[in-house]
Structure 1
Amino acid sequence: MSTVAVGAPGATALARPWRRFWARVLDYWLLILPIGFLTGMVMGSVSVAWVLWLQKPFSNLIVNWCLSPLVMLLEGLIYGWLGTTPGKWLLGVQLLTAQGLRPTRSQYLRRQIDVYIFGLGAWLPLVSLLSTLYQYGKVREGEAAGYDQGKFEVRASKLSVVRIVCTALALIGMLMVNGHFRQASQEAHRQYQNGGPWTNRVTGRKVTIPSGWSHHQSQNQDKQDVDMFFHPDAGIYALFARESIPGPFELEDYAAAWVKAASESMHLYVSSEGDTVNGQPALVVLGSVARDKSQKVHATLLKRDGVVWRVVLIGTAGGAPDRAEALQLRQVLFSSVP
């Protein structure tokens, strides 16, 4: 894109600090949410070890920090394509060169690097706070930010009532979404550190999950509800699910059918050694994950009132899945079955 004369009438006043701040915040969150989601999916598809690591407290902060340069790059590409960004457009903020022209894509990208280092302090603790306060002070006094001096001006047009309302709604929505994720992250952190209550949605029984585990609700390929539990430190994850079976079916029949049905994803066999769960006989199924034989599988099947409950423990990188932490969780999960 070539440098062109600016074509945004009304953008004559220097943009105040808070208008610039909220425009940048909106741009950042509009990009970091989908990018973070896609990154998590890619990491999970590459290795189950990444899936477990993502369950650790504050892993999301590390991922966001690593992704922030990519967000700045994509914002620059969007500016080069549209001539503005969603946040700047909504809040009437416009970036101009010192000559009063719209920057080219390369000029904007170079500025993004300066903003990231000198404006945001590379999002490093304390450094980011101090650099932000320093730049805020300069802009509040009507000066250009340090990274813009002699190169760029940030101007703003008067906002219409419609834009004010839209901006307020966008900010409220953003804060609500951010608050939801923050609350979920804090709750997961508390459960990971201290353990916490979990309710079996089928039986209604509440049990206490031991510390070190995080929980997620999901569905398997057969659209059955599955409760997933992750223990990053032990390198184990567990799947807790149920399945109704026909009256004549015995537990041994179900085990054979399940081993066959799961053959594409897991190579399993019914162990000759039985087990007991809460005083009830259970079957143990052993094996490995089909695409990675280093991931060992230890499953326990329990039949109660025409329903088979199963706890599937999976270890990573050759680790044993039936470690003490996993067997303790298994006992707790089965205690939610009357």
Structure 2
Amino acid sequence: MQPIDQQTDLFGPTMGRVVARAPAASDVLPAFPPAGIWPRWFARSFDLWWQTALVAFVLGQLLCLVSPLFLRWLETPFGWKLFGLACMPGGLLLDAALQALAGNTPGKALLGLRVLMADGRAPRFSELLGRNMALWRSGLACGLPLVSLVTMARQGLRLRKGLQASYDANDFLVCAGGSSRLARGLFGIAFAGLFAAILALDAVDRQDSREASAMLEAPPYAWTNPATGRTVRVAPQWRVEARTGPDGAPQHLFTQHSGHAAVLFAHEQTGGRALRQDAQVLADRLSDRFELADSYFAEFRGRRSWVGRGLDKKGLARVQLRIVEVDGKAWRVLAMQSPPAAYTDDLVGELSGALWDTVTPAPVPAPALARHGQ
């Protein structure tokens, strides 16, 4: 017969052996002192700012290349701000990935902070991502500016009372380790520089929004072709600059306000050359900057014209060139559009038509001629 302390079957399956349990947060806290409220706030703010800005910049560049609607939305007064808020979860995803791969993030590393599991081990990526998403909801209020002040204050009060933040619960510990004066000094410089950059970019965005709103509300302005004396109306989105070409001939450069399109309007004397020769001379002159994929001759407003299409060699800008001979002069319109070209198609088409109106007006339809003669 076994001694009474060995007869575990009388007391159930767990009475005779020690049951292992995961250490509670209180068991680990003495070995890993908890981080203070302000170091946590500064580290989190610094990391969230640069991570969200990086995600917004990369994602914004990609979307601007493919979506005209997204590009137009960014030009609205609050477009960039709303897009930045929408990119915050992406910044928190980057935060979790960086901490899982490198062991820490720059803000927390410079201030000597670490995020650990309650048992003292380093959290996995899935655990960090879950914590960050809970932080986004209950700590940052999904980035809503005023509401987030309330939720952050609530989490701060929990920490002051010695409780865990709601997104940490009993699973995570934010611990304080050693941090040198040099590291803290570097963090202070980086934090102040990043904060100043955010304020500067916000001021620039406000100014751009005001200018864009004023420009869109402005009426078209009159532009006169000095060579023909004809005047047309030009949309306020275009800024015009008079310049001199390499051959000394006058040129007029129209630049779209956001820099996504430019139209060069110029002419030169043909010198008795045929249109084909003029086209070849100009194509050779532009070959160091543009790669023309195809070209053809076509009738344009009752005159023979040459058209070349291709791409800018330095990027993905779309290029279209048209040459028309009128009264011994070879007139040309060179349009360059950054992707997505559909964003500026209407503007470029309208401006090109107006510029050609100053040289060779479009034929008036027959019904209009009949009404004019009555």
- TM-score with structure 1 setting the length: 0.62
Q: Is the 8 A contact 1:76 1:108 kept in 2?
A: yes
* Count of matched residue pairs: 280
Over alpha carbons, which structure has the higher Rg?
2
State the alpha-carbon separation in 1 of the partners of residues 323 and 202 from structure 2.
Answer: 35
Q: Equivalent residue for 1:39? A: 59
Q: Is the 8 A contact 1:270 1:286 kept in 2?
A: yes
Q: Equivalent residue for 1:321? A: 347
CA positional deviation for 1:130:
2.4
> Aligned residues: percent identity?
22
Q: Is the 8 A contact 1:114 1:147 kept in 2?
A: yes
Instruction: Give the counterpart of 2:76 among 50, 56, 60.
Output: 56
**Alpha-carbon RMSD:** 4.9
One-letter amino acid of the structure 1 residue matched with residue 36 of structure 2: A
**Match runs of 1:237-248 below 5 Å:** 238-240=261-263
Alpha-carbon spacing, 1:11–1:311, altered in 2? closer, same or farther (3 Å): farther
Q: Equivalent residue for 1:264? A: 292
State the alpha-carbon separation in 1 of the partners of residues 95 and 58 from structure 2.
Answer: 17
CA positional deviation for 1:89:
0.4
Say whether 1:229 aligns with 2:256: yes
| Range that drifts further, 125-134 or 184-193 | 125-134
Q: Is the 8 A contact 1:259 1:269 kept in 2?
A: no
List alignment gaps of at least 5 residues for structure 1.
Answer: 4-8, 197-208, 216-225, 275-283, 302-307, 331-338
List alignment gaps of at least 5 residues for structure 2.
Answer: 1-21, 23-29, 217-233, 241-252, 312-317, 325-330, 356-374
Alpha-carbon spacing, 1:130–1:190, altered in 2? closer, same or farther (3 Å): same
Q: Is the 8 A contact 2:138 2:151 kept in 1?
A: yes
Q: Is the 8 A contact 2:261 2:348 kept in 1?
A: no
Higher strand content, 1 or 2: 1
State the alpha-carbon separation in 2 of the partners of residues 271 and 168 from structure 1.
Answer: 67
State the alpha-carbon separation in 1 of the partners of residues 91 and 301 from structure 2.
Answer: 54
Deviations along 1:294-326, one digit per CA (max 9) or x if unpaired, are x9979899xxxxxx99684878389643688x6
State the alpha-carbon separation in 1 of the partners of residues 178 and 33 from structure 2.
Answer: 9
Q: Equivalent residue for 1:72? A: 92
Instruction: Give the counterpart of 1:99 among 119, 123, 135.
Output: 119
CA positional deviation for 1:135:
1.3
One-letter amino acid of the structure 2 residue matched with residue 239 of structure 1: A
Deviations along 1:267-313, one digit per CA (max 9) or x if unpaired, are 78788559xxxxxxxxx9989888xxxx9979899xxxxxx996848
Q: Is the 8 A contact 1:118 1:147 kept in 2?
A: yes
Q: Equivalent residue for 2:173? A: 153
Alpha-carbon spacing, 1:254–1:153, altered in 2? closer, same or farther (3 Å): farther
Q: Is the 8 A contact 2:238 2:257 kept in 1?
A: yes
Instruction: Give the counterpart of 2:129 among 109, 112, 127.
Output: 109
One-letter amino acid of the structure 2 residue matched with residue 179 of structure 1: L
One-letter amino acid of the structure 1 residue matched with residue 214 of structure 2: N
Q: Is the 8 A contact 2:75 2:209 kept in 1?
A: no
**Match runs of 1:112-127 below 5 Å:** 112-127=132-147
SS in 2 for 1:102: coil
Instruction: Give the counterpart of 2:44 among 14, 24, 32.
Output: 24
SS in 2 for 1:162: helix
Alpha-carbon spacing, 1:288–1:163, altered in 2? closer, same or farther (3 Å): same
SS in 2 for 1:195: helix
Q: Is the 8 A contact 2:68 2:343 kept in 1?
A: no
CA positional deviation for 1:87:
1.1
Alpha-carbon spacing, 1:142–1:24, altered in 2? closer, same or farther (3 Å): same
State the alpha-carbon separation in 2 of the partners of residues 42 and 259 from structure 1.
Answer: 31
State the alpha-carbon separation in 2 of the partners of residues 272 and 20 from structure 1.
Answer: 68
CA positional deviation for 1:174:
0.8
State the alpha-carbon separation in 1 of the partners of residues 41 and 81 from structure 2.
Answer: 20
Deviations along 1:213-262, one digit per CA (max 9) or x if unpaired, are 899xxxxxxxxxx874258xxxx964155899899799x88777557866
